[in-house]
Amino acid sequence: DVVMTQSPLSLPVTLGQPASISCRSSQSLVHSDGTTYLHWFQQRPGQSPRRLIYEVSNRDSGVPDRFSGSGSGTDFTLKISRVEAEDVGVYYCLQGTQLWTFGQGTKVEIK
Amino acid sequence: EVQLVESGGGLVQPGGSLRLSCAASGFTFSTYWMHWVRQAPGKGLVWVSAMKSDGSRTIYADSVKGRFTISRDNAKNTLYLQMNSLRADDTAVYYCATDRFDYWGQGTLVTVSS
């Protein structure tokens, strides 16, 4: 089974400052079809999850460009260039290369 | 507009059963894999089960294998999750989601308690 490990689990950030979340997988997420099925989700308090980034670095429609995803193989990063108040919530990575596994989640809060 | 609406949650005793439904609209339901994902109170997201578009393939997390059954009715645009032998640790909000997790429902709460 693929294990997804996020860090940090809690991330206090000052408004306007950058934030970075790491997601590491226990094995390579490169599928036999060449695609890396690593996605990022945001879950605001009291809401359903929302996909932000798919296949490592593709931003979903309507997602602000301050969100970006990068990485390859087993090591991936979600970056928020300048944190805004509406970014508070929990962020999850998800691998879909070998069945599906979520990371534990990273709680982003304002300092 | 894509909509997923879960229903069927509630309070059930340990060992009991419950069937969840997910009514889909706004897309061609019959051509997409669908998923169930759950979230225990104050905890993270956990993938539960998936079903292929035509119902010919089903996949389960080890934690629910043999107790839960995913199914679908493409004529009714509805996904189901039959949950048997429920345990306290099955208590969670259950979400349905589209094949690439680009759309999610609002979730339905299942509480297993005596």
Query: Which pLDDT value is given to residue A70?
Result: 98
DSSP bridge partners of A50: A42
- The Cβ of residue A62 has, within 10 Å, a number of other Cβ atoms equal to 7
Confidence of residue A49 (pLDDT cuts 50, 70, 90): very high
Contact B53, B31 (CB under 8 A): yes
Nearest CA-CA partner of A78 in A90, A45, A86:
A90
Contact A60, B102 (CB under 8 A): yes
% of chain A with per-residue pLDDT over 90 = 100
- Residues within 8 A of A (CB atoms), B 69-108 only: 95, 100-102, 104-107
Sign of the torsion angle spanned by Cα atoms A69, A71, A72, A74: negative
Query: Which pLDDT value is given to residue B19?
Result: 98
Quick check: B100 and A51 CB within 8 A? yes
β pairing state of A10-13 and A106-110 = parallel
Confidence of residue A14 (pLDDT cuts 50, 70, 90): very high
Query: Which pLDDT value is given to residue A59?
Result: 98
Which positions of chain B have pLDDT values less than 70? none
Contact A69, A26 (CB under 8 A): no
Q: How far is B59 from chain A (nearest CA, A)?
A: 8
- Residues within 8 A of B (CB atoms), A 51-110 only: 51, 54, 60, 90, 92, 94, 96, 99-105
Geometric angle at alpha carbon B103, from A38 and A21, rounded to 5°: 35
Distances (CA, A) of B74 to B2, B33, B52, B96: 16, 11, 11, 15
Summarised one tens digit per residue, pLDDT across range A61-103 is: 999 999 999 999 999 999 999 999 999 999 999 999 999 999 9
